[in-house]
């Protein structure tokens, strides 16, 4: 069968929606569909979902893209999955088991603890107090967003009989391949990044002394059966074929053929990295050089490129041929994406969510929405236009000057990187009693600048330890804001490469896993470079005034962080 008859499906489960896409042999997007996911949020720090609802949304997406594309099931050569790092709980029969404390763990509909759920902060703090050597691979500080603190929370809060009835504890990406194939094989990505697992050539898998010390010795006693077992051969690298492909049941639900290859899954942020880290604009010498020497390009481009996947939250992923330990940054993780490469993972717990919060809580929101609707613009495009108007009215050369004395520190939902401190909170300096659209636009701009400053903080921390990051490969919804992308380039002084398809970048990365599972190539980096499709390139403004202005803003950003810590010390002191 000709290459033109070969297509791959990617399935991406994000925080609020599931999406599926079909790509062709050149990595071009053929069709895309998105369906919502239900999130249960009974308290401000509790976020729960349903694995049944998630799978239902996936099946609708796949059925829709097959209809849109008019392709036949035999033309789909492979399927890949990615998902958020959320904890799925199943009973011993493989059915959903409740994690919902509000229902006394009786509502089995909600069996997924979402990544953003912070119920396990106390458990994470106790785990960190052990200073166990396993914690070296999460920047010495485990996050409450990871699966082991959440598992410990379940053990300590569920009735004993319900805890004992749990049959499977899975990261959501692994649940999806299990649901598709019936195989209990786990992914190196999920286990290593979120479950304190030490993969081949790093450790022997699960480290018994760690789990005993933190209060999960019961998992050791059962040989980690609920976590997937202790057989390292059953832990697959990204895109490796899972089981025998789609089961009869899953194939019928998706409208595909039984046995269609399924690639070992990854966390959603890594799918964005897979789609973008190898992508370089067509027709450039840089792309030709990367293709002509894949091994050399992997070792040189890896440490200099940072994938930023920016949506509700933002994740930052860099690669290196050697392990680089960075305090407050997760990793280094071996072979969680490209084989034999080490990944560092930084992140910001709230970015798109923070922008929404700042805008949606402003008194001028209703007026701004009305005016944006009159211009047939979304609220953010309208605010960007309004900022240009303010710049002109005030006779300013650079838009950054509008917020010279308005500053925001962005950790409203705690700090993921590079401080790994979930107790930190946001700060705003320079607000007035102004309730106008002008003030709303300025707060919007200051929020974008704050997110960019924190990204710079993460990049500087990585580069200090041995990375050489000068290029940002972006994906996710925030890429649609040209204002944000330009601010990020200027604040970090890095080149930015956008994906050809902003809406589809992450799910396209998942499709690359399907391509690998199909046998297109055994080398994921080869697929990333050949199928990766870059869009626009944005260069930083080298104007000295802009560089100095952003430098001063970054100094204020760091000072606001220091001030918050100092204020806490003052209030916590007994004197």
- What the chain holds in terms of domains, given with CATH numbers, is 3-264 (3.30.420.40), 352-456+546-570 (1.20.58.2240)
Rounded to the nearest angstrom, the gap between the alpha carbon of residue 85 and the centroid of all alpha carbons in its chain is: 8
Rounded Cα distance, 69 and 432, in Å: 53
Quote the tokens at residue 116.
Answer: 């953003």
Angle, vertex CA 206, rays to CA 205 and CA 212, nearest 5 = 160
Residue 406 and residue 441: Cα distance in Å, rounded?
A: 12
Confidence (pLDDT) at 300 = 83
Residue 418, preceding peptide bond in cis (omega within 30° of 0): yes
Q: Do residues 113 and 51 lie in contact, with contact meaning Cβ atoms separated by under 8 Å?
A: no
Per-chain mean pLDDT for the chain? 95
- pLDDT tens digit string along 446-495? 999 999 999 999 999 999 999 999 999 999 889 999 999 999 999 999 99
CA distance 349 to 137: 19
Mean pLDDT (whole number) for 97-112? 97
DSSP 541: P
Contact between 115 and 85 (Cβ < 8 Å): yes
Cα–Cα distance between 204 and 213 in angstroms, integer? 17
Smallest CA-to-CA distance from 24 within 62, 75, 70 is with 75
Alpha carbon distance 553, 549 (integer Å): 6
Q: What are the E-state strand segments in 144-295?
A: 166-171, 186-187, 235-236, 262-267
pTM of the model: 0.92
Q: What is the pLDDT of residues 392-448, one digit of tens each?
A: 999 999 999 999 999 999 999 999 999 989 899 999 999 999 999 999 999 999 999
Distances (CA, A) of 172 to 55, 112, 190, 249, 314: 11, 8, 8, 19, 18
**Is 105 in contact with 99 (CB distance < 8 Å)?**
yes
pLDDT band at 1 (very low <50, low <70, confident <90, very high): very low
What pLDDT digit, counting tens, does each position of 222-268 carry?
A: 999 999 999 888 999 999 999 999 999 999 999 999 999 999 999 99
Model pLDDT, residue 3:
57
**Which pLDDT score, from 0 to 100, does residue 295 have?**
84
Give the pLDDT of residue 297.
85
Q: Residue 304 — pLDDT band, cuts 50, 70, 90? A: very high
Nearest to 198 by CA among 173, 226, 224, 169: 224
Q: Residue 346 — pLDDT band, cuts 50, 70, 90?
A: very high
Virtual CA dihedral for 98, 100, 103, 104, nearest 10 degrees?
80
Strands 46-49 and 76-83: unpaired
Residues contacting residue 419 through CB under 8 Å, at least 6 positions apart = 328, 561
Q: What is the pLDDT of residue 566?
A: 96
| Opening angle at CA 547, ends 541 and 548, nearest 5 | 160
Measured between alpha carbons, how far is 563 from 177 in angstroms, rounded to an integer? Answer: 46
**Token pair for residue 353?**
């969510």
């Amino acid at each position: 069968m000709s290459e033109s008859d070969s297509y791959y499906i990617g399935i991406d489960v994000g925080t609020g929606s599931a999406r599926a896409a079909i790509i062709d042999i050149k990595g071009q997007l053929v069709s895309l569909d998105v369906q919502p996911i239900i999130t249960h949020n009974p308290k401000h720090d509790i976020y729960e979902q349903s694995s049944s609802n998630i799978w239902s949304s996936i099946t609708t997406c796949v059925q829709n893209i097959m209809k849109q594309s008019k392709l036949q099931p035999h033309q789909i050569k492979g399927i890949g999955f990615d998902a958020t790092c959320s904890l799925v709980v199943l009973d011993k029969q493989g059915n959903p088991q409740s994690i919902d404390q509000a229902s006394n763990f009786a509502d089995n509909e909600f069996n997924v603890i979402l990544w953003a759920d912070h119920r396990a902060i106390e458990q994470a703090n106790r785990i960190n107090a052990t200073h166990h050597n396993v914690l070296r691979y999460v920047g010495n500080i485990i996050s409450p967003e990871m699966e082991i603190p959440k598992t410990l929370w379940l053990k300590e809060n569920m009735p004993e009989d319900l805890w004992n009835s749990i049959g499977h504890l899975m990261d959501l990406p692994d649940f999806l391949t299990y649901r598709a194939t019936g195989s209990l094989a786990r992914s190196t990505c999920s286990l290593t990044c979120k479950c304190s697992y030490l993969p081949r050539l790093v450790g022997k898998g699960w480290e018994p002394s760690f789990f005993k010390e933190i209060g999960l010795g019961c998992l050791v006693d059962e040989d980690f059966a609920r976590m997937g077992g202790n057989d390292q051969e059953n832990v697959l690298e990204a895109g490796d074929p899972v089981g025998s492909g789609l089961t009869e049941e899953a194939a019928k639900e998706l409208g595909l053929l039984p046995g269609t290859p399924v690639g070992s899954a990854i966390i959603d942020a890594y799918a964005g990295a897979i789609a973008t880290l190898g992508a370089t604009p067509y027709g450039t010498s840089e792309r030709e050089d990367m293709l002509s020497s894949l091994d050399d390009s992997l070792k040189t481009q890896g440490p200099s490129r940072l994938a930023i996947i920016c949506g509700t939250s933002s994740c930052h992923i860099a690669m290196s041929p050697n392990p680089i330990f960075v305090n407050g940054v997760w990793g280094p993780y071996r072979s969680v994406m490209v084989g034999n490469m080490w990944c560092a993972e930084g992140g910001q717990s709230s970015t798109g969510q923070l922008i929404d919060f700042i805008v949606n809580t402003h008194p001028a929101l209703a007026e701004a929405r009305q005016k944006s609707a009159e211009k047939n613009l979304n609220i953010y495009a309208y605010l960007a236009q309004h900022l240009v108007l303010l710049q002109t009215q005030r006779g300013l050369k650079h838009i950054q000057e509008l917020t010279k004395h308005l500053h925001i520190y962005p950790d409203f939902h705690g700090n993921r990187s590079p401080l790994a401190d979930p107790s930190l909170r946001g700060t705003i300096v320079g607000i007035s009693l102004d309730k106008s659209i002008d003030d709303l636009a300025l707060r919007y701009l200051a929020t974008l600048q704050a997110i960019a400053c924190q990204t710079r903080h993460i990049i500087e921390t990585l580069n200090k330890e041995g990375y050489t990051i000068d290029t940002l490969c972006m994906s996710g919804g925030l890429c649609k804001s040209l204002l944000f992308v330009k601010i990020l380039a200027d604040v970090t002084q890095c080149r930015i490469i956008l994906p050809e398809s902003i809406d589809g970048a992450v799910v396209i990365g998942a499709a690359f896993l399907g391509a690998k599972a199909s046998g297109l190539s055994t080398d994921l980096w080869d697929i990333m470079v050949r199928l990766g499709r870059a869009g626009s390139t944005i260069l930083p403004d080298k104007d000295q005034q802009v560089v100095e202005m952003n430098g001063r803003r970054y100094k204020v950003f760091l000072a606001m962080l220091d001030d918050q810590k100092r204020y806490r010390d003052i209030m916590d002191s007994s004197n």
